[in-house]
Amino acid sequence: MLDTGYIQDKIRQFAQEREWEKFHTPKNIAMALTVEAAELMEQFQWLDSEEAKNVMQTPKGEAVRQEVADVAVYLLRLCDLLQIDLQSAIEHKMKLNAEKYPVELSRGHARKYDEL
């Protein structure tokens, strides 16, 4: 299980040691999160579906692993700054998603909730 509190402490300490707290505003971290998500997406650019499924067994696998970590670091940093409990936020959103996408209307296709 991911110990988000431990990781958030480490990220906070990393920023403090470098006097980067002044840069770690919620806006800047949200932007950095998006940049890192794009870097993750870049690793899949031009791969076909089969290549993408097997990416971790290729030289790109390590880059994917690192970009996933970058995304997680900024997401956890944003939650820390905004005092969002990530686990309860996820549980709440999954409950909303389940209501939005009832199994009987959503099974087996990828239509958006307003097209069910």
Interacting residues toward Mg ion by CB under 5 A: 36, 39, 70
Burial class (CB in 10 A: 0-12, 13-18, 19+), 52: middle
- Find the shortest distance in angstroms from Cβ 76 to Mg ion: 15
Select 36 or 80, whichever has its Cβ closest to Mg ion.
36
- Find the shortest distance in angstroms from Cβ 111 to Mg ion: 33
Select 55 or 70, whichever has its Cβ closest to Mg ion.
70
Q: Give the CA distances from residue 16 to residues 10, 86, 107, in Å, rounded to whole numbers and listed in that order.
A: 10, 22, 47
Residue 70's H or E segment, with its range, is helix 61-82
- Find the shortest distance in angstroms from Cβ 35 to Mg ion: 8
Select 52 or 72, whichever has its Cβ closest to Mg ion.
72
Q: DSSP secondary structure string, 41-66?
A: HHTTTT--HHHHHTGGGSTTHHHHHH
Select 30 or 70, whichever has its Cβ closest to Mg ion.
70
Angle at 16 between CA 10 and CA 18, to 5 degrees: 110
- Find the shortest distance in angstroms from Cβ 78 to Mg ion: 16
Closest residue to Mg ion using C-beta atoms: 70
Q: Which two tokens stand for residue 65?
A: 């692993």
